[in-house]
Copies of this chain bind each other. A is one copy, B any other.
Amino acid sequence: NSARNYGISLGVLSPGEWNAITDVPGVAVGHATLLEGTQVRTGVTAILPHQENLFQMKVPAAVYVGNGFGKLAGSTQIQELGNLESPIVLTNTLSVAAGMEGILDYMLFLEGNEEVGSLNAVVGETNDGYLNDIRGRHVRPEHVVEAIKKAKNGPVREGNVGAGTGTVCFGFKGGIGTSSRKLPANLGGYTVGVLVQSNFGGVLQIAGQPVGKILGQYSFRNQLESADGSCMIVVATDAPVDSRNLERIAKRAMMGLARTGGIASNGSGDYVIAFSTARQLLASPATVTPLDNGAVTPLFLAAIEATEEAIINSLFAAEDMKGKNGRQVKALPKERVRQLFLE
């Protein structure tokens, strides 16, 4: 279930095979979904740049803060050292500590890490407290380990899964979404993949159509609704880009979010974590050299388009969800949206 299945295509570049972050060779994604009783609607999604020992084989990385009303763990070390040494874990706002403990439980005991006494666990979150009993802190470290261990290449489950189980986006059910772009050979042939945890507001646009306006559902419509909420965005590429250019790519992901009608409200925790799988850049001496500035613009466009489409895909993949205190959030009315594009 993606926008393309409904005949809606976004941007001018082409997606990779799975239209997923896993189109970047080596990248793996795993989910642990907590759907328990009537109150628990949450989970964990783990993104791994590769499936070997990440602490021993770090990858170049960067963080860009779109709006920092959030609890992202691990950002300053990525920014200082320009690398990532742990899986990226997404979960809910009050479970960041569980996310960190889970990463440590997994990483500290990998072969080769017996003496490791410092590890930068990277955990992002959005607040699923509308549908989920967030104060119950139901995510435990073992769920995090589960998501990491389940991570695999190939197609990625989207919508009400993992860290997207309980999220809400533009007033519709949000969730996990993913997309990718593969550059033509003469622009380098690199792939950029994006995965999002969508949980924010604004005035929804799909491929430019003011869907939110048409459906009468958008922030500030009645000058009382909030646009708050957050979006975690993970960008992967196999292009050999160093941390400085990864930060620039990360910045463009927020431009993709803007194209969906997001506004990065005061209450949003919109963070972008970007990494390159070209870990040879960090070898000593490095065995590849980083792309120079002049070659990165196509990667910018790819990051914008893949982010836009990943968010839209999260809406197309998500389904109606009933949760905490009997609250219900409807999925995007996909058939109606399809009609808008036929008119």
On A, residues with C-beta under 8 Å from B are 11-13, 65-77, 79-83, 93-94, 96-98, 100-101, 104, 108, 116-121, 127, 129, 134-135, 137, 184, 186-187, 202-203, 205, 207-210, 213, 218-221, 223-224, 226-228, 242-244, 248, 251-252, 254-259, 262-267, 269, 271, 282, 284-286, 289-290, 292-294, 296-298, 300-301, 304
Contacts and interface: CB of A to CB of B under 8 A. Distances in A.
A285 to B, nearest CB: 4
B93 A118 contact: yes
Given A76-B72, A127-B117, A12 B220 contact: yes
Question: Interface centre among A71, A134, A243, by most B CB within 10 Å?
Answer: A71
Contacts of A244: 82, 242-244
Contacts of A290: 286
Query: Chain copies in the assembly?
Result: 4
A76 B80 contact: no
Contacts of A218: 12
B77 A297 contact: no
Contacts of A118: 71, 93-94, 127, 129
B255 A187 contact: no
Top 7 A-B pairs ranked by shortest CB distance? A208-B208, A68-B80, A255-B258, A286-B289, A68-B76, A117-B129, A258-B258
A101 B123 CA distance: 14
A287 to B, nearest CB: 8
A20 B187 CA distance: 40
B67 A248 contact: yes
A275 B319 CA distance: 43
Contacts of A81: 68-69, 293
B266 A186 contact: no
Contacts of A135: 108, 116-117
Contacts of A202: 301
A70 B76 contact: yes
Given A208-B210, A267-B297, A298-B220, A77 B82 contact: no
B67 A80 contact: yes
Contacts of A298: 220
A94 B73 contact: no
A69 B298 CA distance: 16
